[in-house]
Structure 1
Amino acid sequence: MSRVPLGRWVVAIPMSLLALATIYPLLFTVNVAMKTRRDYILDRFSLTDALRFENISTAWNSVGMGRYFVNSVLVVTCSVALLLLFGSMAGFALSQLRFRGSSALFLACLAGLFVPFQVIMVPLARTMADSGLIDTYPGLILVYVAQFLPFTVFLMTSYYKTIPSEIVDAARIDGNSVYGVYRRIMLPLGTPALLSVGILNALFCWNDVLMSLVMMPSADHRTLMVGVTSLRGQYSDDIPTFASGVLIAAIPVLVVYLFLQRQIADGVAAGSTKG
């Protein structure tokens, strides 16, 4: 019997413990969501004796998690679509088009990465209130686009820089306009980066609480994550219902991570090396 090298154990044991620490909270949440309130009060750590979906149904229908879920899907879909459109256009222009001030403009976009939302939260809220955009879907979408656009522009610019400029020059010689080059050449070539950046932005917007809480004060317009945080106060004596709300919010994120792991990793590393 061959021995396992010591180096593998040194890596495997910490990684196994890290995986266990990551998976256990999810399993605990699922277990609690399947319990009745009485069972949870009697023994919160015991395994449930049956699969009960009444708490999930209550959270979805009676508590309003279904409405919050639709709100999140609407806001995230529109925000990601605008981010990909503007980010790909800016990335193409900053990486392939030659114009004065392009480097300074790229640095200005990078500077937006270092401005946390907490710094601009109060003046932004006042500006949006004066514009009548507080508690509206367009207002929250604009905030998401403004907040995550620098990140999108950075990754798309880095990715498009790996594409040889000769391809763009050849397309221009063939009679394509700048828009034609963008639509016919750069968008198809940028599909892997667009997919990766789109997934990352969708996760950022889906998991956001602070920006949504500031922009959407009314209960009807809450996003899913804000709805989950509000459950903790309203259902502090009904932990299984609260756990069901957490599970509803976590399932889409888990599905994305399980099926799109490679695209997420590629998005983090997009443009990190020259082709």
Structure 2
Amino acid sequence: MPAPRAGRWLVAGAMAALALATVYPLVFTTNVALKTRHAYVLDRFALTGSPRPDNLATAWDSAGMARYFVTSLTVVTCAVALLLLIGSAAGFALGRLSFRGSRVLFLGCLAALFVPFQVIMVPLARTMADLRLVDTHAGLVLAYVAQFLPFTVFLMASYYAHVPAEIVDAARVDGNTLFGVHRRIMLPLGAPALVSAGVLNALFCWNDVLIALLIMPSAEHRTLMVGVTSLRGQYADDIPTFAAGVLIAAVPMLLLYLLFQRHIAEGVTAGSTKG
């Protein structure tokens, strides 16, 4: 077999194995979620003969997943909106404008990406407690914005830095203020990066457990992922119901990713090349 063809088969085999390793947990979870408890005990790996969607209804109603879902949807939507609003404006300023201290601010945002959350966890909790934001939606939204804003600013600044300077100069000559340039020129041009930042931040916030546990400790204010972790103890002897809860938590972000996967790739790679 020629070397180029062998290399292609090797790459295809590795990618197929990676795809299988990614898809199998979702298929296994779906299969378990549709089983009865008795069928799961008999053979956890066998395909279910008669699917039971009752487990999904039990997890949604009896286990309180509906309330957790609404909490997560509210918090994630508000956090992503603020992240895009602030991150886009800051990215435009740091990536396209030149002013005193801009380089230091950009390096500060870059350095913040390497700070683990565990380092700021205690100061953040004390600050939130002093501001009486613990166990509130606003507190969790602000915590997510503080945690993921450096990534958003870095992504948007990298994208805006490769927008031709002539476009900005022409808009200023036409009488636009900096806010006008950002609103009328940069936001439409930055749509691919905004979509990427929005979807990635939604994934980060939706899948978070540690920050949500720290800021929203009470049971009635749990987010969906925290609620799913609590199901493991509540339904320790009913794995199909627990799997149904995991499936409910995974499907929204899976659909979001599948819907915007092309835009994510375009937004992430667009800022890496000029032109």
TM surpasses 0.5: yes
**Equivalent position of 2:95 in the other structure:** 95
Partners of 1:91 and 1:154 within 8 A in 2: yes
**Equivalent position of 2:122 in the other structure:** 122
**Equivalent position of 2:253 in the other structure:** 253
Partners of 1:83 and 1:149 within 8 A in 2: yes
- Map Cα deviations across residues 127-173 of structure 1 (whole Å, 9 max, x no partner): 10111001100000001001110000001111111111121121112
Task: Measure the CA separation in 1 of the matches of 2:91 and 2:139.
Answer: 25
Task: Measure the CA separation in 2 of the matches of 1:167 and 1:18.
Answer: 42
Task: Measure the CA separation in 2 of the matches of 1:140 and 1:47.
Answer: 40
Structure 2's unaligned 5+ residue stretches are none
Partners of 2:199 and 2:257 within 8 A in 1: no
**Equivalent position of 1:81 in the other structure:** 81
Q: CA shift at 1:97, angstroms?
A: 2.1
> 1:183 aligned to 2:178?
no
Farther-moved stretch of structure 1 (173-182 vs 233-242): 173-182
Q: Which consecutive segments of 4 or more residues in structure 1 shift more than 6 A?
A: none
Structure 1's unaligned 5+ residue stretches are none
Task: Measure the CA separation in 2 of the matches of 1:181 and 1:220.
Answer: 44
Q: CA shift at 1:98, angstroms?
A: 2.3
Q: CA shift at 1:266, angstroms?
A: 2.5
SS across alignment from 1:5 = helix
SS across alignment from 1:46 = coil
Farther-moved stretch of structure 1 (142-151 vs 189-198): 189-198
Q: CA shift at 1:34, angstroms?
A: 0.7
Partners of 1:158 and 1:270 within 8 A in 2: no
> 1:152 aligned to 2:141?
no
Q: Which one-letter code corresponds to 2:149 in the other structure?
A: L
Q: Which one-letter code corresponds to 1:6 in the other structure?
A: A
C-alpha RMSD of the superposition:
1.6
Q: Which one-letter code corresponds to 2:49 in the other structure?
A: D
**TM-score, normalization: structure 2?**
0.96
Task: Measure the CA separation in 2 of the matches of 1:267 and 1:200.
Answer: 11
Task: Measure the CA separation in 1 of the matches of 2:11 and 2:170.
Answer: 49
Task: Measure the CA separation in 1 of the matches of 2:174 and 2:14.
Answer: 56
Distance 1:216 1:174, change over 3 A: same
**Equivalent position of 1:7 in the other structure:** 7
> 1:54 aligned to 2:64?
no
Pairs aligned (count):
274
Partners of 1:208 and 1:225 within 8 A in 2: yes
Partners of 1:155 and 1:270 within 8 A in 2: no
Task: Measure the CA separation in 1 of the matches of 2:263 and 2:68.
Answer: 27
SS across alignment from 1:114 = coil
**Equivalent position of 2:198 in the other structure:** 198
